[in-house]
A and B are shown apart, each in its own frame.
Chain A
Amino acid sequence: MVSLERVGKRYGDFQALDGIDLTVQHGERVVICGPSGSGKSTLIRCINGLEVPDEGTIRFDGKAVTTAGSSMRARELRQLRTDVGMVFQQFNLFPHLSVLDNLTLGPMRARKLSRADAEALARKYLDRVHIPEQADKFPRQLSGGQQQRVAIARSLCMEPKLMLFDEPTSALDPEMISEVLDVMGELAETGMTMIVVTHEMGFARRVADRIVFMDKGQVMEDTTPESFFTSPSSPRGAEFLQRILNH
């Protein structure tokens, strides 16, 4: 479904991504982890065109999102983004819109659904993330965990084929982390293809089919959770696990 070939990205002299090869199949759940600054965010932002790599090719459903430093045309990029959902660390809900309007904006403007259809869709996904009663509130009236679940529902309203998550629980108070991870786990059970950047190793163990460990802009390991947790093949991976698990 998604393939990256020799993808590279520089910020000035700094090599944020360095020859990344990665393929994600339909229905797969991939967790990406690695130390801060290793390029995890940059990687998944490249997949939905928020960043444009300098080198390499990214394909989604066979179509090139970017080849050798040039990205799709604006119209194709918009289409891509209706197929690829993205959940951000900071939620990025629209503060001036009610929860319901946050959810219906994409379907109505990008997918051209009628208001009635968009609202039905919004309520369905609010149900899915267990907060149907919050539809008429504004984002800042909700807890962090609720806001992140609204953000997940907002992405789901686009009925994407692939969901990207960039540290979705890192900005949350500890007691709210599990409500978000539960929703993500349930989403995985529906067969959604997911790429999740997270340090929640319990979630990775339960949900992931594969773990990708990154360091210094490179993929150091790409393996099953089983083998990553029991016997990481790289010294950096072992060191990282030590730190995360003894934390």
Chain B
Amino acid sequence: MSVMPVRPLRWLLPVLLLLLLAGCSGSLKWYVVSPLTDTGRSNLLFLLGGLKYTVLLSITAIAISIVVGLLVALPGISTSRWLRGANRVYVECVRSVPILVLILWVYYGLPIVMGISVSVFWAGVIALALSDSAFEAEIFRAGIQSIDRGQLEAADSIGLGYMDRMRYVVLPQAIKRVLPPLGNQLVYMLKMSSLVSIIGMEELTRRANELVTAEYRPLEIYTVLILEYLLLILLVSYGVRRLERRMTRDER
């Protein structure tokens, strides 16, 4: 199971051509985002400038949510009923909150609770990471539980403790199995990061919105926005697949 097994160029090119042809008919004003005109170039650069925030936001959030997810997953596989219960409560509660709501709550609500102000960037990171951590926890739990019992018994039989057993036997094998779903989560995160535009984060979507307000060419600008996400995510999918192949190579 790999992430988006498509050849990008096969259908990306026809779509682009279609749009350009439509532009020639005069109903579309491609000049607002055309690299051939001065306005278009500066508009494009403005739009693309959001890329680094989208990427930074998503990468930071997924890194944190992977760590938190793992910490939440471990009690979920313990023998103690209380720890397993705590894991369930966390997962069920966190994944029941819509991401957009969580973003608003963290940005506007958390400062009141904690008495500290949170920057737009960190509010976005916290909300995305929190929301995603519930899904990561489920992915890790399933991955760890898919490891054969015999592996655990072998680790026990050579005197490994809980931590060593996790670190040297269980997790290295589980990581390989959870890589495809983790890749999916990263893609999902890149898309969900667009919601952080609502609190003013200058990422791809926010910039497109601002430009639309200025130029009033929603179709052209949002089309570019779609292409930006498309390219970004195809690139990420490709990277994840390469990594997957490299990590499973020694097993064949």
A interface list, Cβ under 8 A from B: 48-50, 74, 78-79, 81-82, 84-86, 88, 90, 92-97, 105-106, 109-111, 138, 140, 151, 154-155, 157-158
Interface membership of chain B positions 142-170, coded 1 if the CB is closer than 8 angstroms to chain A and 0 otherwise: 00000010110111111111101000110
Chain A residues within 8 Å of B161, by CB: 74, 78, 109-110
A74 to B164, CA, bound (A): 13
Nearest A residue to B165 by beta-carbon distance?
Answer: A109
Question: How many residue pairs at the A-B interface have CB separations less than 8 Å?
Answer: 76
Knowing that A50-B153, A74-B161, A154-B158 touch, tell me 19 more A-B residue pairs with CB under 8 angstroms: A48-B157, A74-B162, A79-B159, A81-B156, A82-B158, A86-B157, A88-B157, A92-B148, A92-B150, A94-B154, A94-B173, A96-B250, A96-B251, A106-B158, A106-B159, A109-B160, A109-B161, A110-B158, A110-B159
A106 touches B251 (CB 8 A): no
B251 touches A92 (CB 8 A): no
CB distance from B174 to the nearest CB of A (A): 10
How many residues of B are counted as interface, with CB atoms below 8 angstroms from the partner's CB atoms?
A: 22
A50 to B148, CA, bound (A): 15
Nearest B residue to A154 by beta-carbon distance?
Answer: B158
Chain A residues within 8 Å of B173, by CB: 94-96
Q: Is B23 an interface residue (CB 8 A)?
A: no
21 examples of A-B residue contacts, CB within 8 angstroms: A49-B156, A50-B153, A82-B159, A84-B157, A86-B154, A88-B153, A88-B154, A90-B150, A92-B148, A94-B155, A94-B173, A95-B251, A96-B172, A105-B158, A105-B168, A109-B160, A109-B168, A110-B158, A111-B159, A157-B158, A158-B158
Main DSSP-derived SS at the B contact region: helix
B interface list, Cβ under 8 A from A: 148, 150-151, 153-162, 164, 168-169, 172-173, 176, 250-252
Q: CB < 8 Å: which of A92, A96, A110, A138 contacts B154?
A: A92
A206 to B124, CA, bound (A): 71
A88 to B150, CA, bound (A): 8
A49 to B158, CA, bound (A): 12
Chain B residues within 8 Å of A111, by CB: 159
A48 to B162, CA, bound (A): 16
Nearest B residue to A109 by beta-carbon distance?
Answer: B164
A49 to B151, CA, bound (A): 16
A213 to B177, CA, bound (A): 42
Chain A residues within 8 Å of B153, by CB: 50, 86, 88, 92
